[in-house]
A and B are shown apart, each in its own frame.
Chain A
Amino acid sequence: MEILMSVLVGILFTAGTYLVLAKSLLRIVLGTAILGHGALLLLLTMAGLKTGAPPLLGMEGITNYVDPLPQALILTAIVINFGTMGFFLVLAYRSYKELGTDDMEELRGTNNE
């Protein structure tokens, strides 16, 4: 199972990297979202996918739980990613309005105007 997940994460990272290298701003934002999914899935995978009960203490007769720590880490990272993504999307929208382009090639250069 871990092997399969690793391959999936690899595919997500490939797709994310490809999109981040694109010209269009929206594709770049989507690329970072996919990179984020890849990173979080990797966090889940690397902690081990051994079968066990969900980490809830209320259930009777269960001694084998899945590792709760990575789930807490992922939850934290999801919220942070969510905030960053929201900011990035609004920034992209505002830049499109003000600068009049979503093509990163046209946003190059060192001059001030």
Chain B
Amino acid sequence: MNNLVIFPLIIPLFTGVLLIFFSKQVLIQRYITIISLLALFISTLFLIHQVSNEGTQTLNLGGWAPPYGITIVADMFALLLVFTTIIVTLCCLWYAFRTIGKEREKHYFYPIVLFMITGVMGSFLTGDLFNLFVFFEVMLLSSYVLITLGGTNLQLREALKYVLINIVSSMLFLVALAYLYAITGTLNFAHLSMRVAETGQDGLITTVSIFFLIVFALKAALLMYFWLPGSYGAPPMAISAIFAALLTKVGIYAIFRLFTLIFYHEPGVTHYLIAVMGILTMILGGIGAVAYWDIRRILGYNVIIAVGFIVAGLAVFTETAIAGSIYYLIHDMIVKALLFLLAGVMIGLAGTDKLREMSGMIRNHASLGWMFFLAAFALAGVPPLSGFIGKLLVLQGALEEGFYVVAAVGLLTSLMILYSVMKIFMNGFWGENQLSVEDEQMSTRGLMFPCAILAALSVALGLGPEWANVYVMQAEEGLSNPQLYIEAVMGNAD
């Protein structure tokens, strides 16, 4: 029992409610948002310190012992994602101060972002399947509002598809939940894991697990990614960056949680299927990223490739590969946010996202150009930067286990990623300068700093993985040993 565990949930929720009362005072909203995110940052640091010393922390809401009440569980895997979420949100909001515009800010932009963060945090920290559904809905409803906020034609058109696909997948989530409840009679993750282990994972449970895989694949854009490039191309860049960094990652987190904690008895069926889906996602995403000449499309398809790669690490299902996936997950949240923010500056300067209509930006915007170069190399996994270690570990695990196709496709798509982002760099930054300073549609004043923080983090994660290694190893241990999770939750039944 530890009350600190619920802080990542309560702080954004209450701040969001508070901000509704100040909807017209933009400055007050900004200050309160930043202060609350800093408070969140500090409390999460404490929590990580505690979890690394004392093991997984849990909180039984209302004092009801699991499995009867709802348990909030903070293990290292969830906390690493919570921590990254806070940093990414801080940077994206800082960027939003300059770019999002007064009109959106007055129409509840900050409260809705905070509610979305509440949903994301809740999804990471909950220990209960139906609670996960509810937090998914909190996150999704806020994202519906964020994607339509402003109401341009493109946003409305893409929001229709985004909302529809998410409503259908939520219905499927309910159906899968109903089946699992009928078979096991419980909804608590730890208790579910015990029940499934007791009775053995028979054909029925495996079918339900594949049902869950489809549900979360829809949310995480794993193979069923058709909605993603359009939806992420519609809203303003600060919002797209938050989406790209957080939303699909929550789906990935749910897949990891379910298939390491509950449905881990039949890897020959489920994890093989995940491997096939991951491989196809990487290939198809890679083709999309190479094919397009719009910055937003290319980056959207890069989100999809990363999903395939992270999930491939889970499919291999060895300690090395899972540790690699965790590294890559954290790296990807940071670098995707960075790339989207930088691309937002490029699009803002040029007034278009067509690559063929821009060139030579490096002459007036050297820091933007070199930061984009750095982010591109980090994304592709070039050694001193953050994408390398994750990719290396996943590939090492894949080769050890004989998943040669996964390894080959992973390496091949790295080339496709590099080609697609260098295409942006070479077309946008090199060549004749078409854009004089007077023609630029906006100024970069104040926009480089949040990007620089994210870039520095990416470099730090690449140069000093030993520093992060303790935490990642603990997260990996928690995922490989479901017993640790069960003991943490059920052991505190007092």
Contact = CB atoms under 8 A, between A and B. Distances in A.
10 contacts: A36-B171, A46-B179, A47-B178, A70-B178, A83-B141, A84-B167, A87-B144, A91-B159, A95-B160, A107-B161
Given A107-B157, A113-B153, A46 B134 contact: no
Contacts of A113: 153-154
Contacts of B178: 39, 42-43, 45-47, 70
B430 interface: no
A2 to B, nearest CB: 10
Interface string B134-167: 1001000100110010010110110111011001
A32 B160 contact: no
B7 interface: no
Contacts of B171: 32, 35-36, 38-39
A88 to B, nearest CB: 6
A15 B160 CA distance: 20
A70 B177 CA distance: 11
Contacts of B164: 20, 28, 32, 88
A112 B134 CA distance: 34
Given A28-B164, A32-B167, A98 B153 contact: yes
A104 to B, nearest CB: 8
Of B153, B172, B230, the most chain A CB neighbours within 10 A belong to B153
Interface in A63-113: 69-70, 73, 76-77, 80, 83-84, 87-88, 91-92, 94-95, 98-99, 104, 107, 110, 112-113
A91 B179 CA distance: 32
Interface string B169-182: 01110110111011
A20 B137 contact: no
A112 B154 contact: yes
B141 A107 contact: no
Given A43-B174, A98-B153, A76 B130 contact: yes
Size range of the chain B interface in the assembly: 20 to 34
Given A45-B178, A95-B157, A98-B153, 13 more contacts: A20-B164, A35-B167, A70-B178, A77-B174, A80-B134, A80-B170, A87-B145, A91-B159, A94-B148, A94-B151, A95-B156, A110-B230, A113-B154
Q: List the 3 closest pairs (A to B, CB-CB), nearest first.
A: A46-B182, A39-B174, A46-B178
B45 interface: no
Contacts of A92: 160
Interface in A1-47: 20, 25, 28, 32, 35-36, 38-40, 42-43, 45-47
Interface string B291-331: 00000010000000000000000000000000000000000
Contacts of B159: 91, 95
Contacts, number: 93
Contact of A80 (B137, B168, B177, B230): B137
A77 B181 CA distance: 15
B182 A47 contact: yes
A74 to B, nearest CB: 9
Contacts of B174: 39-40, 42-43, 77
A67 to B, nearest CB: 9
B157 A46 contact: no
B168 A20 contact: yes
Contacts of A40: 174
A53 B164 CA distance: 38
A91 B177 contact: no
Nearest to A84: B167
Contacts of A77: 133, 174
Contacts of A69: 181, 187
Contacts of A45: 178
B189 to A, nearest CB: 16
Nearest to B234: A112
B153 A91 contact: no
B156 A99 contact: yes
A43 B174 CA distance: 7
A43 B145 CA distance: 28
Nearest to A97: B156
Contacts of A39: 171-172, 174-175, 178
A84 B139 CA distance: 12
A84 B230 contact: no
A69 B184 CA distance: 13
B130 A87 contact: no
A48 B182 CA distance: 8
